[in-house]
Amino acid sequence: MISPVGAINNGLELLDLAHSAQGAEFTLIRDSAAQATSRIRFFRLAFGAAHKDQAVSAPEMASLLRHCFPGPLRVTWEVEETLIRPRAKAACLAILCLDRCLPYGGEIRVAPHGAALAITTQSEGLRAHDPYWSLLDGRPIPEDLPPAEVQFALLPHTAQRNDLNLSAQHTDDHAQISI
């Protein structure tokens, strides 16, 4: 994925230099390539290696999420501190868990809550009652866990491995994961 998206971005830069990149078609391609690049960066953070000696700045996270989730799902990053990479990884996995609870889109908010990060959403169509939500409480991982739900298994594993406290709760219209 990285090479083809990078090639598209490089091709667009060459067209810009030749003053050939004009019109709605090129704008669509440019915006799509930028979103794909942001998604790749987000998935690298969520699913890649996370060492405690690496950090992710607040402006970097806010920019990444703004470009990665332009709508109908929006993610608002309200954390001003730099995070160690394992904590940023856990936040990304929590965002993906809440994303699965919002089939029609909505807003996910990441904000400081004391010493923790609170990743929250509120929606009338919230679907946090599926069997995968219970994995966040440490339930055993089912053998038939679908790939689209792997974040529910990875988040508790990441939290435990990095000594992060994890809690999750939900009601019919509100869900919160705290890290």
Query: In the chain, where are the structural domains located?
Result: 1-47, 52-178
State the pLDDT at residue 113: 93
Q: What is the model's pTM?
A: 0.87
Residues 4-59 have pLDDT tens digits of: 666 666 666 666 666 666 777 777 777 777 788 888 889 999 999 888 889 999 99
State the pLDDT at residue 124: 81
At a CB cut-off of 8 Å and minimum separation 6, what does 13 contact? Answer: none
At a CB cut-off of 8 Å and minimum separation 6, what does 47 contact? Answer: 154
CATH architecture of 52-178: 2-Layer Sandwich (3.30)
d(C-alpha 105, C-alpha 109), whole Å = 13
State the pLDDT at residue 131: 82
d(C-alpha 109, C-alpha 25), whole Å = 33
